[in-house]
Structure 1
Amino acid sequence: MIVNIAVCDDKQASLDIIQKELVKAANNLNITIETYLYMDGNEVVDLICNSKEDFDILFLDIDMPNISGLEVAKKIRNAGSDIILIFISAHEQYVFESIDYNPFKYIRKNKIEEEIEYSLKRAYKRISSENAKSIVVKTEDGEVRLKHTSIMYFEVYARRMSVFTNGNQKRNLVGRKTIKKLYSELNDEDFIQIHSGCIVNVKYIDEYSGHDITLDNGTKLIVSRPRIKEVKEAISSYWSRRV
């Protein structure tokens, strides 16, 4: 497996150092990587938000002119990207602000040599784990294999089951598979059944209030009364695992 890594920093010298340390870390860990270097955060936003490149990890400097790393992170998260985001900064005061964008790690620039290998090792472990989880579904366009991480939710409406994936793509499923059977096949703690006709990937839940959940693309879904407690526990468990 090749891990595609984007690195964004407004200074060429910093890019060179980060790339050098990534190559060294990858060799030590026996990981194959491809690195892509950028000095303009707006270019990174365009590549990721418009699906022009498929990066696995983004190493992102925070303190940049024109557009800060925090603004880059905000734009790609708002676009629905779940890329592994690793902030790099010389200023530790940004740590708390960066939390809003679900960073995987925060690396101090004066500690790059010490911290980059550990960050790459952890990120690779998550990528490997997520790539191993997938499900094959029969759709109107034929059989499709979907990574669990790309699935936002399954929903039954008017006796038709559909799957919604990140990027707001909808596919109608064919066959007689029930929600109960599908939930069993997923066998993934990140999925929770919120009512008799809907299964949601907890990673895409942005807000929870009363009998409603709101996904990070703005979609609102109703939680049935008997499942409120279970859904709240699943959300809390997921968020605590990501801290």
Structure 2
Amino acid sequence: MINFIICDDDLKFRKKVETAVDKYMMKNHTEYKIYLFDDYDKSFLNIVKQKLPFKIYILDIEAPTMSGIDIARIIRNKDVDSALIFLTGHQELSQSVLKSEFVFISFINKFDEFEKRLTSSIDKAIQIFKQNPIMKFKDNGTQYSVAFNDILYITRDSVERKCIIVTDYAEFKVSKTFSELVSILNDNFVQTHRACYVNKKRVVCYNRSKKFIMFDNGVTIDLISSRFDKELV
């Protein structure tokens, strides 16, 4: 799932960006969602705070309450992995972006081959995302790609006979066997129970006596067995 967060105070241009994204993504047969904003307001900041997979921000340099550069700093403080694409109708503002300290995909002039440069930038962002380890699976007929870093743990539902992949933003029930899922996990995952593997990079607290694990987003689980907990001690 690719999440596009688009902000531009010009309604016509915002729709133009949305149309260009739709056109590109339809050709690539990749699941995506678009979030549209006309300013860097509270609702925009709420999206920044949300843990969503594969975020591509398309940001207007000039907005009513805040500059795109300032909002990019806020984004980077919370999220170093998302892609940033800047838009402006004023070429002279490009120097402000180029002098900034954060990594971004591109700076696009709204009036200079806009759609061509935008689709090229989106393609570059997706290629970068693909370099990160991901797990691909189907849930209710829909194909998903989830970054390993977004997975908290996987477990097995003995009633439904399905495996559950728990991430920051959703739980997915898949028909793969537990051993099949385990075979594609990377070295960040360790077994803590006969029916659970956790992402040790996301663990911030392990209480052996009370038998619980806390992840960096506050989620806790008690799927722990002394037989398997050695790598967490």
Deviation, 1:177, is 5.0
- Quick one: which amino acid aligns to residue 29 of structure 1? N
Q: How does 1:153-172 map to 2 (within 5 A)?
A: 165=216
TM-score between the two structures when normalised by the length of structure 1: 0.55
Structure 1 gap ranges (5+): 157-161, 180-196, 198-243
CA distance in 1: counterparts of 2:88 and 2:203, whole angstroms? 35
CA distance change for structure 1 residues 173 and 85 in 2, over 3 Å: closer, same or farther? farther
Deviation, 1:88, is 1.8
Match of 1:88 in 2: 87
CA distance in 1: counterparts of 2:97 and 2:19, whole angstroms? 25
1:125 to 120, 124, 127: 127
CA distance in 2: counterparts of 1:170 and 1:75, whole angstroms? 28
CA distance change for structure 1 residues 44 and 97 in 2, over 3 Å: closer, same or farther? farther
Match of 2:59 in 1: 60
Deviation, 1:106, is 2.5
* 8 A contact 1:3–1:33 mirrored in 2: yes
From the two aligned structures, give the one with the greater helix fraction. Answer: 1
**Superposition RMSD in Å:** 3.8
Match of 1:241 in 2: none
Deviation, 1:139, is 4.9
CA distance in 2: counterparts of 1:16 and 1:173, whole angstroms? 47
Q: Is 1:44 matched up with 2:44?
A: yes
Q: Is 1:143 matched up with 2:196?
A: yes
Match of 2:78 in 1: 79
Match of 1:3 in 2: 2
Deviation, 1:5, is 1.0
SS in 2 for 1:31: coil
Deviation, 1:35, is 1.4
CA distance in 1: counterparts of 2:81 and 2:221, whole angstroms? 20
* 8 A contact 2:192–2:198 mirrored in 1: no
CA distance in 2: counterparts of 1:36 and 1:143, whole angstroms? 34
Structure 2 gap ranges (5+): 136-146, 149-184, 207-212
CA distance change for structure 1 residues 37 and 145 in 2, over 3 Å: closer, same or farther? farther
* 8 A contact 2:8–2:39 mirrored in 1: yes
Match of 1:16 in 2: 15
* 8 A contact 1:84–1:104 mirrored in 2: yes
TM-score between the two structures when normalised by the length of structure 2: 0.57
Deviation, 1:15, is 0.6
Max radius of gyration: which structure? Answer: 2
Deviation, 1:75, is 1.4
CA distance in 2: counterparts of 1:77 and 1:170, whole angstroms? 27
Aligned residues: 172
Deviations, residues 129-150 of structure 1 (Å, cap 9, x unaligned):
322463433458x73554x9xx
CA distance change for structure 1 residues 85 and 44 in 2, over 3 Å: closer, same or farther? same
* 8 A contact 1:163–1:171 mirrored in 2: yes
CA distance in 1: counterparts of 2:6 and 2:69, whole angstroms? 14
